[in-house]
Chain A
Amino acid sequence: MTILEVNNLKKVYTTRFGGSPVQALANVSFSVEEGEYAAIMGESGSGKTTLLNILASLDKPTSGEVLLKGKGLSTIKEKEISAFRRENLGFVFQDFNLLDTFSLQDNIFLPLVLSGKSYEEMSRRLEPIARKLGIGDILAKYPYEVSGGQKQRCAVARALITKPQLILADEPTGSLDSQAAEGLLRLFKEINSEGQTLLMVTHSVKAASHAQRVLFIKDGEVFHQLYKAGMSDEAMYQKISDTLTTMATGGGRHE
């Protein structure tokens, strides 16, 4: 079943002071199936964050549409959009986006508190997640008291606790050292194997090689995609590198 469908997305940034408009996305179309783990790759500045922000309904496309479980994001009323986002989407960001005013536990609870859940229910939901992510004994700490990897795992917990349809991750390993990054990628694989749909945006070949499918964007369009289909991480890594080389040397588009 298709969970996310993106059709002919275009995004043009018009700067306020009369600068020339920047086209971040030209014509992006793809879809994500339920239970899939997809990665989107592209150079810095290729429009990955822009795409993710639109998928997250944090930003609006210039044209084109995004369907989540068949429902168009543009049809949701402004008032309901945050509740919709809260209940259907989970986010993991490069810079964690944890609030320094809250303990880690409260950071994880935040979306549930906003949905009006009781404390008992929140604790009940957190318990298995915390165990799986190995953050049980740092929950009372504050973001600045723990390492980047721990922060990112808390951000993942925050994304998981709402039981979202889809988790969107923007460069989740971007601020982590290689060991912590490796840990996070394993974690993603694990939650994906339990049925969680994941869409990750990255420019790290390493990170992308863990996904089942990799989409490449260049010049604001989906340039190419690769299926892992039983390949090992190493083989996938090699294949992605090759594709990137082709792209960089201006090779033609091929499916």
Chain B
Amino acid sequence: MSRFFYPKLAATNLKKNAQTYLPYILTCIGTVMMYYIMVFLSENEGLGKMAGGSQVQSILSMGTYVIAIFSAIFLFYTHSFLVKRRKKEFGLFNILGMEKKHIARVLAIETLYVAGISLGAGLLGGILLSKLIFMVLLKILNFEVPLGFEVSGPALAAVLFLFAGIFLLTLLNTLRQIHLAKPVELLMGGQTGETEPKTKWLLVVMGTLSLGGGYYISLTTQSPLAALTQFFFAVLLVIVGTYCLFTAGSIAVLKLLRRNKGYYYQTRHFTAVAGMMYRMKQNAVGLANICIMATAVLVMVSTTVSLYIGMEDVLRTRYPQHIMISTPMPAQQSVEGLQTSVKEVLVKHGLEGKDRLDYRYVAFVGNQEGDRLITNLSNISDDSSSVREFYLIPLEDYNRLAKRTASLGDDEILIYSSGSKYEEDTLTVFNRTFSVKERLDSFFENSPNRVSISGSYYVVVKDMDVVKAMEEARAKENGDDPSGYRYYLGFDLEADEADISAVYQDIRTALGSDYPGSSIESPVAAKESFFAIYGGLFFLGIFLGALFIMATVLIIYYKQVSEGYDDKARFEIMQKVGMSREEVRGSIRSQVLIVFFLPLVTAGIHIAFAFPIITKLLAVLNLTNVGLFAWCTAGTILVFALFYAIVYGLTAKVYYRIVSWGTSG
């Protein structure tokens, strides 16, 4: 045999199977590109040196792992589909006298071609696109865009390493399958008879329970802190539930329908039930994959987009005032001294504090147990959902800020709760029992209404004596020194960001040495790191969203193609047995539509149920604007559905061409 026989045969094979190989190669190219770009960005030195850049890079490097794992699983999965389609061809080669080792050689050469094309085109595309994506990222992050163009050596190496591994694995897996199969089995190929799917009630029950469990967690989780820990558990339950119900649940439902003879043996239901049963058996896993990926895309994109869009909101929630000073006040310090220092800075800049807000308080953390607060630090955090932050404020300051003239007895309090409601009539803390005189619906304007991950209570007590007594009790219990009370001073400035930033810096210097332990915050100072984090997440969300969408498209395409081949024969038989073309067409179309939109609808339901828990997670990230998130979610779903419908339209064309819609007969 000629030296060129195998390379030639390999090339012919790829050409002959272009309809299935082309999308696969395009996907390989796409994943190579995305992986290169992601590694490029997460390793880029210029980005690392920018303020907040390293935070972005740690987010992005998380992305590289996601892409790597995903690419491996996904390419492996699609490739096994290709091999299944081609088994018949291998069987033919085998019977025509090619030994398995020769087939292996052809396959190895084919893999080399595919790898060569994918890596060549993918790296070229990745290198060209990396600059563009880099600029987009910097724009998102609000960073300056530097000049110049780079090719990253480490990124090239990472790509070659990962994808060589993936291609090798797929080849080995194919060879294993060929090696194990007998020629006759190969010839039978994909169509080794469809076994009647079994009803797996255990899986159905498990799926229902775990899906229900996931939904239940989402609907009932109240505190953001609990949401943080429960979210991944809920996600896991929903994923398990989705797989179980798509695979076993669908079959169980269809079988129940079939058992009902009056329903089943009706012209309209007969072919539909049997057809759906067959399709679900073939595609349940693929459909569940699509459903989960669609859900992931929707969650990722809607959350990151709303965080990014809502960044000003987030900043305002987290930092309600331009300058926020909170400092401990031991005996030797005075509130007046601090106010003077701040005043001096403002005078120097020719500015005045607006909406000034100041009050004295002490804060501590404890576990709420009914009307008791357990403050013993060693007990805290066992049950994260009952952790509460307490802020004690004297009545004098509260009345001043809220413009009220409330009065309180020694053991009376006013309570304002944020996060979880305080329902009790009394509150016992450090062995002192207070009676709740009034539950406040609002505190005062610009009150530090922080959405902490646990619930917070703002408790107004009679006077500073009570405040100090409580702080002493706390220190005694924890065995540390009482730190006196804390003093909060916050105000807005009518100035541009640069001036606010300058004031902020000066106040830091002015207070730094005299007031150890004080915290000085400003949204202006935090903006950069917020941009870095939320911008980074936004970028990653969109990027991974694109990757997942690409995968979804490919799965859909392969599903349509493989169903097309199977349906073609069925379509002809049905006509021969006396179904009209219109009937067959209608029946097949509705089945294809159901199969196609089932994952999307399910993803929509998942999202609806996930909404409550995600809003709580976003609250942890300081996004409390539920309306914005709702809009972003709706928008994302709409865009995705539109995109999905377009993909459906395009692949349906391929499908109809295969079943030769309208040409037969």
Interface residues, chain A, CB within 8 Å of chain B?
56, 58-59, 79, 81-83, 85-86, 91, 93, 97-103, 106, 109-111, 113-114, 116, 118-119, 122, 142-145, 158
Contact = CB atoms under 8 A, between A and B. Distances in A.
B270 A113 contact: yes
Given A58-B576, A106-B274, A119 B265 contact: yes
Contacts of A59: 665
Given A97-B577, A144-B193, 11 more contacts: A81-B580, A91-B577, A97-B572, A99-B274, A110-B574, A111-B578, A113-B265, A113-B267, A114-B267, A114-B577, A158-B577
B49 interface: no
Given A106-B274, A113-B270, A114-B267, A100 B193 contact: yes
Interface of B: 192-196, 261-262, 265-267, 270, 274-275, 277-278, 570, 572-583, 665
Nearest to B265: A119
Contact of A83 (B192, B261, B275, B578): B578
Main SS class of interface, A: helix
Given A58-B665, A100-B194, A144-B193, A119 B577 contact: no
A79 to B, nearest CB: 7
A58 B573 contact: no
B277 A114 contact: no
B576 A91 contact: yes
A116 B267 CA distance: 6
Contact of B576 (A56, A114, A142): A56
A107 B561 CA distance: 25
Contact of A119 (B192, B261, B274, B581): B261
A142 B195 contact: yes
Contacts of A81: 580
A101 B270 contact: no
A112 to B, nearest CB: 9
A168 B192 CA distance: 29
A72 B544 CA distance: 63
A110 B270 contact: yes
A109 B574 contact: no
A79 B196 CA distance: 34
Nearest to A116: B267
Contacts of A100: 193-194, 278, 570
A114 to B, nearest CB: 6
Contact of B265 (A101, A111, A118): A118
Contacts of A98: 573
Contacts of A97: 572-573, 576-577
B274 A102 contact: yes
A222 B277 CA distance: 47
Contacts of B578: 82-83, 85-86, 110-111, 114
A99 B570 contact: yes
A100 B195 CA distance: 9
B576 A101 contact: no
Contact of A82 (B274, B572, B583): B583
A102 B573 CA distance: 12
Nearest to A142: B196
A135 B344 CA distance: 103
List 5 A-B pairs, minimum CB-CB distance, nearest first. A144-B193, A86-B578, A82-B580, A101-B278, A101-B274
A114 B265 CA distance: 9
A235 to B, nearest CB: 35
26 contacts: A59-B665, A79-B580, A81-B580, A82-B575, A82-B578, A82-B580, A83-B578, A97-B572, A97-B573, A97-B577, A99-B570, A99-B573, A100-B193, A101-B274, A101-B278, A110-B270, A110-B574, A110-B577, A110-B578, A111-B578, A114-B577, A114-B583, A118-B265, A119-B262, A144-B192, A145-B193
